[in-house]
Chains A and B, each alone.
Chain A
Amino acid sequence: MPDNSRLTVVYFIATISAAMVLRVMLLWPELAPFNPDWIALALIYWSMAFPERFGVFTAWTVGLLTDVLTGRLLGQYALIYALIAYFSIKEHRRLRQFPVIQQCLFVFFCLLVSQSIIFGTEIMKAGNRLTLEFWYPVLTGTLVWPGVFWVLRNIRIMARIA
């Protein structure tokens, strides 16, 4: 069904855009250090649900846009999201069978790897004095994963895309 696939792309763009907005939104300044990487979570879900439609290259493009959005060196998030998409697609059969706890564990390691790469590039850029706060988004990202999974799954069921 060609119509269906176009619908999927529309939903993909809409949810990724929403994730990007959430990523840079500043509603409560006190909560800002805990803001998880929503885009990575959305990408994990989509590459898990549609491994044949959204590949590594899609994730790479999204990452490039995220680099511009957050003012990083071009290619930092592109690299991270490409890696995350690669592992999610490789493991998508297993991930779909996993209970939520095990999925959370997978998400935790993805985010940990991503944050470590950011740590590397930040060190390369300057001797940044990063504190323990730098690692909070990994934890919060893991904690919100069940919610993200539930919301995106319901969106997918509501839109009847498979």
Chain B
Amino acid sequence: MAVLASVTLLVLDYRGSRLNSFRSLLAFAVYPLQSLASLPVDTYQALTGTVISYVELQKENKRLKDVQLINDARLLKLAALEKENIRLRLLLENSFQLGEQVLIAELLSVKLEPYEHTVVVNKGSRFGVHPKQPVLDANGVVGQVIRVLPNSSEVMLITDPDHAIPVEVNRNGLRTIAFGTGQPNRLHLPFLANNADVAPGDLLVTSGLGGGFPAGYPVAVVDKFEARPDKSFANIYATPKAQLDASREFLIVWSDTNPVVIDQHAQTPQQQFSLQPPPQSPVSQPIDKKQGKHAGQ
């Protein structure tokens, strides 16, 4: 009987999302266990953070201030470029999407299955997270949300063997798809011809095709180009830009134009901010209609 019940559940869960509420219910029972499993590493990190020396703190502070200064200067230029870009796009009568919303989520130190590259973060459906959302860190694309529970969500990394991400070469706009390999620092690009204009050192960014990932975020750097004259496609490998095994904090991105409904008790406005504030210039008025829902959050 148990076997029958299991098989029924398996088929139901495989076919659709009818069991999601049931899973959420059970998730409340196992969430404390996940937090408990994450506790030793978290405590270690907290301790090393507390007993850091004064000199080191000062050094870090100075470094961060320098970085902040450089980033501010870059942002100044970015604002001008953004306006120019919008004007040019308007001339071409092209639509343009700006103002992605992000939410900071912390990693739980748990490993779900030894053979998968999946991580758990501490923000779930109570914060408005939904499946297929892209996840970034400070350096590049990390992966995408594959399952959402009330208090946590599972993120598939771009290095998982089941994961593929549409990318383009930043230098010349050549589009292709990058697959995960199962190794923590390797991506595979199997669909480029032997004479493709790709060289080690090229930056791969998201192309925005397929609609899953917003365009223009760095994904990986090509590190090996292996031409195979006997086959129609070359073997190209790339190293992810994001620090997949070192990052503790990730950004979950809302890039689609649909507004996200958020429980007011779960989400304070300070926690969510706009990565690039929507432009205020009169030139961008027609676009603001599309962006209005975004900006209103």
A residues with CB within 8 A of B: 17, 20-27, 29, 32-35, 56-57, 59-60, 63-65, 68-76, 78-79, 82-83, 86, 121, 124-126, 128-131, 133-134, 136-137
Contact = CB atoms under 8 A, between A and B. Distances in A.
Contact of B114 (A33, A72, A76): A33
A133 B114 contact: yes
B13 A73 contact: yes
A24 B10 contact: no
Contact of A78 (B9, B27, B112): B9
Contact of B9 (A32, A69, A74): A74
Interface in B1-19: 2-3, 5-10, 12-14, 19
Q: Which of B2, B36, B112 has the most CB of A within 10 A?
A: B2
B203 to A, nearest CB: 26
Contacts of B36: 21
Given A27-B41, A75-B13, A79-B7, A69 B118 contact: no
A76 to B, nearest CB: 6
A104 B162 CA distance: 34
B118 to A, nearest CB: 7
25 contacts: A21-B33, A24-B111, A24-B112, A25-B40, A25-B109, A26-B41, A26-B109, A27-B40, A32-B114, A33-B114, A59-B2, A60-B2, A65-B26, A70-B113, A71-B146, A73-B13, A73-B14, A74-B23, A75-B7, A76-B6, A78-B6, A78-B9, A79-B3, A82-B2, A136-B114
Given A26-B111, A133-B114, A69 B10 contact: no
B22 interface: yes
A71 B147 contact: yes
B33 A69 contact: yes
Contact of A69 (B6, B8, B30): B30
B235 interface: no
Contacts of A22: 37
Interface in B86-120: 109-115, 118
B115 A71 contact: no
Nearest to B184: A29
Contacts of A33: 114-115
A44 B87 CA distance: 68
Interface of B is mostly: helix
Contacts of A121: 10
A25 B110 CA distance: 5
Interface of B: 2-3, 5-10, 12-14, 19, 22-23, 26-27, 29-30, 33-34, 36-38, 40-41, 109-115, 118, 146-147, 149, 154, 161-162, 182, 245
Nearest to A86: B2
Contacts of B146: 71
A26 B29 CA distance: 20
A87 to B, nearest CB: 12
A17 B3 contact: no
Contact of B34 (A64, A69, A125, A130): A69
A74 B162 contact: no
A133 B115 contact: yes
Contacts of A71: 112-113, 118, 146-147, 154
9 A-B pairs with the lowest CB-CB distances in the bound complex, closest first: A75-B9, A79-B6, A82-B2, A75-B10, A24-B110, A75-B6, A25-B37, A68-B26, A26-B111
A93 to B, nearest CB: 22
A131 B182 contact: yes
Given A21-B33, A74-B19, A60 B5 contact: yes
Given A35-B114, A71-B112, A79-B3, 17 more contacts: A17-B33, A24-B112, A25-B38, A26-B37, A27-B41, A32-B111, A60-B5, A63-B6, A70-B113, A72-B113, A74-B12, A74-B22, A74-B23, A75-B7, A86-B2, A129-B182, A130-B115
B37 A21 contact: yes
Contacts of B118: 71
